[in-house]
């Protein structure tokens, strides 16, 4: 098996570098969204999923913009991950200036912030459950600038645009993917 498609190897990296349960849940959510889009685009879901799973693995240790995700990229390079895999991870963060010139790079950028908005929306529901979240509730929360203000709505909109999809379809794909692993997210 190719290293980049080896989820067990990715999980070992996660266990080594990440202790924060919420950060792990975020990466699981991004993994699920990446896998859903890989299926939609007829791409390798294991490769795409591991991009999502590892995109923030260095964030707990290196949360500053000058370090994240660059430190993670160096770690992945030392472990034998390809330049394409690493550059795809770099593309999730606008501040890196990495070109989003592949579908996978566009997708990791598109799903990252949206997963955060979906989780935040679930957490204000009475049962704190993804089951209670629907497209309209996410769109409503997205319009509220005071709600989860750290989430960049412009990047969510830009991500959907770069994927040549409507915002509604984009939200629906990611929400469905996250609902499919709701138990793993404790939502």
Q: What's the mean pLDDT when you consider all of the chain?
A: 95
Alpha-carbon distance 187 to 185, whole Å?
Answer: 5
pLDDT digits (tens, 9 = 90+) for 141-168: 999 989 999 999 999 999 999 999 999 9
Mean pLDDT along residues 38-59: 97
Helix (H) / strand (E) element for 120: namely helix 103-123
Percent with pLDDT over 70 in the chain: 99
Domain locations in the chain as residue ranges: 3-179
Q: Residue 95: pLDDT above 70? A: yes
pLDDT digits (tens, 9 = 90+) for 65-91: 999 999 999 999 999 999 999 999 999
- HEC profile of 120-172: HHHHCCCCCCHHHCCHHHHHHHHHCCCCCCCCCHHHHHHHHHHCCCCHHHHHH
Mean pLDDT along residues 47-53: 98
CB-CB contact of 178 with 117 (8 Å): no
Alpha-carbon distance 15 to 28, whole Å?
Answer: 13
Percent with pLDDT over 90 in the chain: 93
CA 10 to chain centre: 15
Q: Residue 1: pLDDT above 70? A: no
Per the confidence metrics, is the pTM higher than 0.85? yes
Q: pLDDT tier at 2 (50, 70, 90 boundaries)?
A: confident
CA 78 to chain centre: 23
Q: pLDDT tier at 3 (50, 70, 90 boundaries)?
A: confident
CB-CB contact of 9 with 52 (8 Å): no
Q: Which CATH number is associated with domain 3-179?
A: 1.10.3210
Mean pLDDT along residues 36-55: 98
CA 55 to chain centre: 7
Burial class, 101, CB count within 10 angstroms (exposed 0-12 / middle 13-18 / buried 19+): exposed
């Amino acid at each position: 098996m190719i290293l980049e498609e080896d989820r067990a190897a990715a999980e070992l990296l996660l266990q080594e570098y990440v202790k924060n349960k919420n950060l792990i849940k975020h990466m699981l959510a991004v993994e699920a969204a990446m896998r859903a889009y890989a299926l939609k685009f007829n791409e390798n879901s294991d490769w795409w999923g591991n991009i999502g799973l590892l995109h923030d693995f260095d964030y707990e240790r290196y949360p500053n913009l000058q370090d994240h995700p660059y430190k993670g990229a160096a770690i992945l390079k030392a472990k034998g991950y390809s330049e394409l895999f690493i550059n795809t991870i770099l593309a999730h963060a606008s501040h890196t200036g990495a070109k989003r010139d592949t579908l996978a790079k566009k997708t990791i950028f598109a799903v990252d912030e949206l997963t955060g908005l979906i989780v935040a929306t679930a957490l204000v529901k009475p049962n704190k459950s993804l089951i209670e979240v629907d497209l309209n509730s996410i769109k409503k929360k997205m319009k509220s600038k005071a709600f989860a203000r750290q989430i960049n709505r412009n990047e969510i909109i830009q991500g959907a645009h770069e994927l040549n999809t409507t915002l509604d379809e984009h939200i629906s794909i990611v929400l469905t993917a996250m609902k499919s692993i709701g138990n793993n997210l404790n939502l």
